[in-house]
Amino acid sequence: MERIEFAPMLGSADECPAGSVEWAERISRRLQLAVDSLSRDTVHHLQRCIKQIWEADPRPWDIWPPEQPYRTPDDYCRAVTGHSWKILLELMKEMGNGQLGFDFRDMEAELARAQKKYRSQGTRTDLLGANITKLAKGKGSTQSAYLLRRLARDFPIILARYEKGEFKSVRAAAIEANIIKIPTPYELILKLLLKLSNEEREKLKAILND
């Protein structure tokens, strides 16, 4: 997906009522600029922009562009910045030393519900810009996004509990929903037994027979 090119002379988003179509276009331009200049020294600009977007009703992806709104935070963020909603949240958390100023879980759940409503199940890989690729590595965002979509689709009550902070992680919520199955000690031992050599099995048998 190619990024949107905005008119160079767009006015400030603060001049329009939050939640209006005109505001949505201008705040989207502000978001694009905040990401393009993103660093640890400027992350507060991105945080402020995301906070404004999050507090608006309706949100930009629900009303803009007016002829065909994006409908999901992911499609919107990819079109505006070239990066997914999840990656932007992870980067804000990383660069801001974990301080977001708003509820990270609510935003994750918002994405999962929007994807359940408007998009078929699946994953997508982003092509990250060189300036943020390093920070984005190793986040496990694809797996977390998948698990959140499964929770939104099949276990909305557990997703709501995750939003309230009842689980320490998305994985913990997925375990509660039995999406992720934790093997029993017996299953773990059996799996390891199959990897033992004949000699190792004989040694183990001798220990058990003592």
Q: What share of the chain is helix, strand, coil (3-state, %, to 5)?
A: 60, 0, 40
Contacts of 75 (CB under 8 A, 6+ apart): 1, 61, 119
**The pLDDT value given to residue 99:** 62
112 contacts 145 by C-beta, under 8 angstroms: yes
**The pLDDT value given to residue 100:** 60
Tell me the three state secondary structure of residue 16: coil
For the entire predicted model, the pTM comes to: 0.65
Q: What string of pLDDT tens digits covers the 210 residues of the chain?
A: 678 999 888 899 999 999 999 999 999 999 999 999 988 889 889 989 998 998 899 999 999 999 999 999 989 999 999 988 888 888 887 787 666 666 778 888 888 888 888 876 444 433 333 333 333 334 444 577 788 888 888 898 998 898 888 988 888 999 999 999 888 888 888 888 888 898 988 888 888 887
Report the run of H or E that residue 201 belongs to, with start and end: helix 198-209
Indicate the domain borders of the chain. 1-102
**The pLDDT value given to residue 131:** 36
**The pLDDT value given to residue 60:** 95
- Give the Cα separation of 188 and 175 in Å (integer): 17
